[in-house]
């Protein structure tokens, strides 16, 4: 997909903004048919063949970046809804056209031919040398490696390109899009499939999440005092698995103890890891968490607020020190909460 409206200007100090014409040594965002015809009397195919180039080599990195078939570019060109639809269609088409089945049906390729084709397309030093010769190929390979490790992936690159404020913000946005969340999964796979894939991943992760011995002791005591008819609706570490809540626009939240029949949650908060305000002043720095006690406690409250106001649950917060001080009292408090 090429967006003809995308433009970039030559910046002599930024090699990402230009390519050099091998005929006249001038710099351009891209080597065009018009330039070659008017200035050198040749077309693009003749130019590419003469200098052992690929069509990709005719455009600078910035132009190639703007023309890439990406979700962001499609949304920018077609809008949120249409952009997402076209992105899904593009991915499906690309997946099939790059498959062995397609190449076999369309061109009659064997599996050996298909593997050979993919090996030739790979960005390797050997392939760069084969295309451009030893000296030029090695130079292009080193430039490619440098660009891959810098352009579009480091904060310095974004600040250099967009300025300190906008660059830092764009870098933050890129990092958030690369991370795994329900929002990034929906962006990659679409609303329905993205949500399904994210929930499968969370279910898998929940099998390996572990709570403290104290928390498990409390939850097992609670379970033993509940009617057996409720047991199938109870979720915690050693019973089924930790339950989680996932909703677009919000961070996925795993909860310590969940009763599905009543949508009630019991959160067992370690004093140290959650910054218990009855023990720590807000400014106290929790080294292992790399945060202040005040920040950890605020996060705990924010999580419970989302569980209550976004996911429609009732939440009871139990502190570790409360349970250690009077186990029977806390167990009864939890049972009263579940039976309300």
pLDDT, tens digit, for every residue of 8-32? Answer: 788 888 888 899 999 999 999 999 9
Q: Per the structure, how many domains does the chain have?
A: 2
Output the pLDDT for position 326: 96
| Residues 294-323, mean pLDDT to the nearest whole number | 95
| Residues 172-188, mean pLDDT to the nearest whole number | 71
- Domain annotation covers residue 10: no
State the pLDDT confidence band at 161, using cuts at 50, 70 and 90: confident
pLDDT: which is higher, 152 or 6: 152
State the pLDDT confidence band at 6, using cuts at 50, 70 and 90: very low
Domain edge (last residue) among 189, 220, 240: 189
pLDDT at 148 over 70: no
Does residue 185 sit in the same domain as residue 216? no
Does residue 135 sit in the same domain as residue 249? no
Q: What is the pLDDT of residues 244-257, one digit of tens each?
A: 998 888 889 999 99
- Domain annotation covers residue 302: yes
- Domain annotation covers residue 68: yes
Does residue 228 sit in the same domain as residue 332? yes
Does residue 192 contact residue 179 with C-beta atoms inside 8 Å?
no
- Domain annotation covers residue 9: no
pLDDT at 88 over 80: yes
pLDDT at 5 over 60: no
State the pLDDT confidence band at 150, using cuts at 50, 70 and 90: low
CA distance 317 to 274: 11
| Residues 179-199, mean pLDDT to the nearest whole number | 78
Does residue 90 contact residue 97 with C-beta atoms inside 8 Å?
no
- Domain annotation covers residue 6: no
Does residue 181 sit in the same domain as residue 39? yes
Output the pLDDT for position 175: 65
Does residue 226 sit in the same domain as residue 326? yes
Q: What is the pLDDT of residues 96-135, one digit of tens each?
A: 888 888 888 888 989 888 888 777 777 788 888 888 888 8
- Domain annotation covers residue 39: yes
State the pLDDT confidence band at 93, using cuts at 50, 70 and 90: confident
Element at 82 (helix H, strand E): helix 80-97
**For residue 89, what are the domain limits?**
15-189
Output the pLDDT for position 2: 39
Does residue 23 sit in the same domain as residue 105? yes
Instruction: Retrieve residue 38's tokens.
Output: 């008017």
CATH of the domain at 313: 3.40.960
Output the pLDDT for position 54: 84
| Helix segments in the chain, DSSP class H | 33-40, 44-50, 61-67, 71-78, 80-97, 100-107, 111-121, 125-132, 134-150, 155-162, 164-178, 182-189, 191-206, 213-224, 293-309, 320-325, 327-339
pLDDT at 184 over 80: no
- Please give the mean pLDDT across all residues of the chain: 86
Instruction: Retrieve residue 30's tokens.
Output: 């891209």
Does residue 33 sit in the same domain as residue 157? yes
pLDDT: which is higher, 224 or 208: 224
Does residue 237 sit in the same domain as residue 113? no
pLDDT at 138 over 80: yes
- Domain annotation covers residue 8: no
DSSP string, 104-143: HHHH---HHHHHHHHHHHS--HHHHHHHH-HHHHHHHHHH
| Residues 309-316, mean pLDDT to the nearest whole number | 95
Output the pLDDT for position 4: 42
pLDDT at 183 over 50: yes
State the pLDDT confidence band at 1, using cuts at 50, 70 and 90: very low
- Upper half-sphere CA count for residue 140 (Cβ side, 13 Å): 23
Does residue 229 sit in the same domain as residue 132? no
User: To the nearest whole percent, how much of the chain has pLDDT over 70?
Assistant: 93
φ, ψ of residue 282 to 5 degrees: the values are -55, -30
Domain edge (last residue) among 157, 189, 221: 189
| Residues 267-283, mean pLDDT to the nearest whole number | 94
- Domain annotation covers residue 204: no
């Amino acid at each position: 997909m090429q967006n003809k409206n995308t433009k970039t200007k030559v910046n002599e100090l930024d090699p990402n903004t230009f390519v050099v014409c091998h005929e006249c040594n001038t710099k351009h965002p891209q080597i065009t048919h018009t330039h070659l015809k008017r200035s050198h009397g040749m077309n693009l195919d003749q130019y590419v063949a003469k200098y052992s180039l690929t069509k990709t080599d005719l455009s600078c990195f910035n132009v190639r970046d703007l023309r890439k078939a990406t979700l962001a570019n499609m949304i920018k060109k077609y809008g949120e809804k249409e952009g997402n639809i076209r992105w899904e269609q593009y991915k499906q088409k690309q997946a099939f056209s790059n498959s062995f089945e397609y190449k076999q049906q369309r061109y009659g390729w064997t599996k050996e031919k298909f593997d050979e084709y993919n090996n030739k397309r790979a960005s390797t030093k050997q392939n760069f040398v084969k295309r451009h010769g030893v000296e030029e190929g090695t130079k292009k390979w080193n430039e490619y490696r440098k660009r891959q490790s810098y352009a579009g992936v480091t904060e310095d690159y974004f600040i250099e390109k967009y300025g300190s404020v906008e660059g830092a913000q764009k870098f933050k946005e890129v990092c958030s899009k690369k991370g795994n969340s329900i929002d990034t999964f929906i962006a990659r796979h679409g609303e329905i499939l993205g949500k399904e894939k994210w929930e499968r991943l969370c279910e898998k992760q929940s099998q390996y999440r572990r709570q403290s011995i104290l928390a498990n002791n409390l939850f097992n005591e609670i379970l033993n005092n509940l009617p057996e008819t409720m047991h199938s609706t109870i979720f915690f570490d050693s019973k089924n698995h930790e339950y989680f809540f996932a909703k677009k626009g919000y961070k996925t939240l795993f909860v310590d103890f969940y009763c599905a029949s009543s949508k009630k949650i019991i959160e067992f908060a370690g004093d140290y890891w959650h910054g218990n305000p009855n023990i720590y002043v807000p400014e106290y720095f929790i080294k292992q968490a790399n945060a202040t006690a005040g920040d950890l406690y605020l996060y705990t409250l924010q999580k419970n607020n989302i569980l209550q106001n976004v996911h429609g649950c009732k939440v009871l917060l139990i502190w570790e020190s409360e349970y250690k001080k009077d186990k029977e009292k806390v167990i009864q408090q939890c049972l009263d909460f579940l039976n309300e």
